[in-house]
Amino acid sequence: MDVLDAIRSRRSIGKVKSDPVDRDLIEQIIEAATWAPNHHLTEPWKFIVMTGEGRKVLGDAYAAITQEGLSGLEEAALEERLDKERAKAYRSPVVIAAVCSPSDNPRAVQAEELAAAHAAVQNLLLAAHALGLGAVWRSGDPMYHPAMHQAFRLGERESLVGLIYIGYSDMKELQGRRQPAAEKTVWLEG
């Protein structure tokens, strides 16, 4: 698949089949992610791949975060709600936690390290699409919660930048629209 075609045709795929994804494909996707641009070649990323019961780490973190905010629920209602939260980790056969792991390089700028980690996620998404897989980049408040940081045993300076759910698409082809680039472009010419 041509890179321009991949960019134009990739869509967030939130519904995937439960079919397992070959480890080789996941390794190719992560390899593509590591070719993202990064200032001073710091490579400020790491990836935590969850499959099978490995997704329990994520599910338990979702449940712990939700439980903090709940009080006064009957035990049965509480357990039903927590089961629903745990199930989020099982929405796809593969979940990759993308982490910004900043370099100790004194020339590294935190904002640039974070931007590089985000670029790595974009490479990951494009590679998944090119290999025939569906993927969605999820974030939201739970991702930034200390319980999630603890669940993935992140270092003090590390942060999650995305939870990438990957599998074989179970959705009809999606159409996408963008405003014309000309509407978002300013030319400064001499």
**Which residues, 6 or more positions from 130, have their beta carbon under 8 angstroms from its beta carbon?**
1, 6
pLDDT, average across residues 4-11: 85
pLDDT digits (tens, 9 = 90+) for 28-77: 999 999 999 999 999 999 999 999 999 999 999 999 999 987 777 788 88
Domain boundaries, the chain: 3-184
Distance separating alpha carbons of residues 54 and 129, to the nearest angstrom = 23
Q: What is the pTM of this model?
A: 0.91
pLDDT, average across residues 79-97: 96
pLDDT of residue 100: 98
* Bridge partners for 148 per DSSP: none
Is-contact 95 135, C-beta < 8 A?
A: no
The highest-level CATH class for domain 3-184 is alpha beta
pLDDT digits (tens, 9 = 90+) for 130-183: 999 999 999 999 999 999 999 999 999 999 999 999 999 998 877 778 888 999
Structure tokens at 158: 């590390």
Residue 42's closest CA among 95, 113, 125? 113
pLDDT of residue 156: 95
Distance separating alpha carbons of residues 34 and 96, to the nearest angstrom = 14
Distance separating alpha carbons of residues 27 and 5, to the nearest angstrom = 22
pLDDT of residue 152: 97
pLDDT of residue 159: 97
Which residues in 94-117 are b (16+ Cβ under 10 Å) and which e? bbbbbbbbbbeeeebeeebbbbbb
